[in-house]
A and B are shown apart, each in its own frame.
Chain A
Amino acid sequence: MGHYEAPIREPIITGDKSYHDITLDVAAPIEGKANKSWYIAFTIALIAFLWGIGSIAYTIGTGIGVWGLNNRINWAWDITNFVWWVGIGHAGTLISAVLLLFRQKWRMGINRSAEAMTIFAVFQAGLFPLIHMGRIWNGFYTLPVPNPLGSLWVNFNSPLLWDVFAISTYLSVSLVFWWTGLLPDFAMIRDRATKPFQKKIYSLVSFGWSGKAKDWQRFEEVSLVLAGLATPLVLSVHTIVSFDFATSVIPGWHSTVYPPYFVAGAVFSGFAMVQTLLLIMRKVSNLEDYITRVHVENMNKVILVTGGIVTVAYLSELFVGWYTGSSYEDFVYLSVGAATGPYWWAFWSLIICNSIIPQLFWFKKIRRNYIWTFIIAIFINIGMWFERFDIIVINLSRGHLPSSWTQFSPTFVDIGIFVGTIGFFFVLFLLYARTFPVIAQAEVKSILKSSGNNFKRERDNPSTVKTEVKKEPIIIKEEIVKEEKIVEKPIVDVDDKQAKTNSLLESLGTFDASKDTADNLKKISGIGPVMEKTLNQIGIYTFAQVSKMTNKEYDLLDSITGSFPGRAQRDDWAGQANKLKS
């Protein structure tokens, strides 16, 4: 199998990783303890979420009169937030599906978190149609089920019902796609877990994945077919969301440009949210080697393209509005009337955040810069919220009857629900970051040899390749009584060995079975079951002991065991044990 990749392509895994390093890096946030900033962020998110729950409870208990809606503006923040969240939920499946079909290797580092973000964002989106029904207990009327009204069915001609089908299909298919990809990674965590509770949980969620050849073959086929299904699905979802507006008779909404324009806008905002989350995550979870400048730059290029599509759509709406000469077209959200009217601030926020600021990404220096990317991504998040606000509120604020012209002002409940969904989103994402493998490690391992920086370097300059020492295989025979018989060189000179053992334990510390618990030393790369047994015979049971080893102890160990001279140095047991210890 060739792992060739053109030298001109930048490595997308840096830091000279081996397969085992990837395992350690992905497992570290799950096995380690959360730091203070995680708890602070989680507390803030939880408070926002609770505030949101309170606002939702107040809305359901009292009625949607507690929102700032009025006769003219009868749809406002609820649908703005709904479309905003659905739009954010577009990047994940785009990354995992479309980029899979195009065989883009850089998707591997980010697809897991992007999909998680998608699912959590769609949760938030789904809340809004439910609560804006007002009487949520009648929610089952949106489903085609026999009901108390003599089975009066739902109206399948209505885009609002298409939305119900599109979003639930999207959510469930994304969830299944995500979970199937998670199985091998959960299995990896399961096989490393030392605490019984952890082991139980990860055994449960990994569905007994064992990594058999046939399972992998099916896994890859399923991923490919799901990608093929999810690609038109993701495009259909926002198309159908745009139909909510495009099939209506409100000026500014009944526009044939809406479906492609909404889809591009959704991808645009989704990628901006991925950038916002991953730029923080790569720092906090020490994933700088997996989410690199290449990833950031590629996502910025997608943002530039989709931002361009959105801008062209704005310009065409603006032009057509002006060119028709119709006075009603001057009421719509993209018109001279909107730019100079009472909602001028919302209009210009949209234009500046979505069309002007992202143009900075034309400069290579800026689109490869983490700080700039983060700032611009925040602007896009805000701009895309204003796009939906403009479409909905500016359009509704003016109508054919000037006496009803009005403006919208949100109540504390509107604000509370919106802030609450942001809190809920971050509660889910922060929990995810501590309990899920946030990088698709199995897939990253499969591209390591083609795109890892050490492998690329060695392939491009064959002179740097280190000559591998041929290792002797260990042979273990299990007899019928299931005793492990070790076929190996006999150990010489018992007295000498005892003396060396004592001096070795002196420097490493002894193991007291009544106080300490033995670690699974096999987790250290280079220690197999035989070596573990040997170490245990000497009296080495814990990572703490191994982590104290220096060259002197390695030499002693080699002379006691008499096997694999130099192996421990090469694999850096002490360094590995140090990481595992914590």
Chain B
Amino acid sequence: MSSKVIHALYDDDDVLLNAVKEVRAAHHHIDEVYTPFPVHGLDKAMGIPPTRLAIMAFIFGVMGLAFSIWFLNNIMIVDWPQNIGGKPSFSFLENMPAFVPVMFEMTVFFSAHLMVITFYMRSKIWPFQTADNPDPRTTDDKFLMEVAVDGNEDAIIALLEKTGAEEISVKEKH
């Protein structure tokens, strides 16, 4: 098992997208693709399964709503019911309309923040994290495809050359 990878640098998103399709069609393994901006259709072309973050956002929202109901009921009805302008202070359901704004805000709060935290954790991005894009130009205007080498280096280089790569470099895997 070789520990080499090939980095192919492209200067156009459409050329890259075609290259990704061709490399996959030739049954080489694409480790990673680094792009300066979201290239639409790249995840499909690479065969990356869709993200489930939206589902998590819904679950977090439900959690937020449930928490807010417990929270409001505990404070306003159970712990210390107060007579405020004669409003129904001993029944959650009757007092609920006044709680809707806070229930809504807490749903949004939980959903948004927990989703973003999940995103950061899953993608391993947080303060003091070091970036691992192999070439600084990939945040500017270049697109880099990392292909795993498995004893077929020359074949991959030939294929990448055909796909319009600008630079092809063979590297040790770090």
Binding site for B on A (CB under 8 A): 1, 18-20, 23, 144, 151-159, 161-162, 165-166, 169, 172-173, 176-177, 180, 183-184, 187-188, 190-192, 203-222, 224-226, 229-230, 232-233, 236, 240, 243, 442-443, 445-446, 449, 471, 473-478, 480, 482, 522, 525, 528-530
Contacts and interface: CB of A to CB of B under 8 A. Distances in A.
Given A184-B37, A220-B38, A173 B125 contact: no
A158 B75 CA distance: 14
29 contacts: A1-B14, A20-B140, A20-B141, A155-B82, A155-B84, A157-B98, A165-B105, A172-B109, A172-B113, A176-B113, A180-B119, A184-B36, A188-B139, A204-B127, A207-B129, A210-B131, A211-B139, A214-B43, A216-B42, A218-B123, A221-B53, A222-B115, A229-B112, A233-B108, A236-B101, A236-B104, A443-B37, A446-B39, A474-B168
Contacts of A156: 72, 75-76, 98-99, 102
Given A166-B105, A215-B125, A218-B53, A445 B131 contact: no
A128 to B, nearest CB: 20
B123 A191 contact: no
A428 to B, nearest CB: 21
Contact of A192 (B34, B125, B140): B140
B65 interface: no
B127 A165 contact: no
A528 B127 CA distance: 30
Contacts of B111: 225, 229
B20 to A, nearest CB: 9
A476 B37 contact: no
Nearest to B129: A208
Contacts of A161: 102
Contact of B137 (A207, A445, A474, A522): A522
B141 A203 contact: no
B16 to A, nearest CB: 10
Contacts of B138: 191, 210-211
A225 B54 contact: yes
A522 B61 CA distance: 46
Contacts of A162: 101-102, 105
A153 B76 contact: yes
Interface in B121-143: 122-133, 136-141
B30 to A, nearest CB: 9
Contacts of A187: 131, 133, 139
Interface string B63-99: 0000000011001100110101101000000010011
A476 B79 CA distance: 71
Contacts of A208: 124-126, 128-132
A243 B141 CA distance: 49
B166 A473 contact: yes
B28 to A, nearest CB: 16
A225 B38 contact: no
B124 to A, nearest CB: 7
Contacts of B48: 213-214, 217
A18 B11 CA distance: 11
B122 A210 contact: no
Given A1-B40, A207-B120, A211-B37, 11 more contacts: A153-B76, A156-B72, A166-B101, A188-B36, A188-B139, A203-B131, A212-B32, A213-B32, A221-B53, A449-B13, A471-B166
A18 B141 CA distance: 9
B106 to A, nearest CB: 7
A470 to B, nearest CB: 8
A90 to B, nearest CB: 16
Contacts of B87: 157
B46 interface: yes
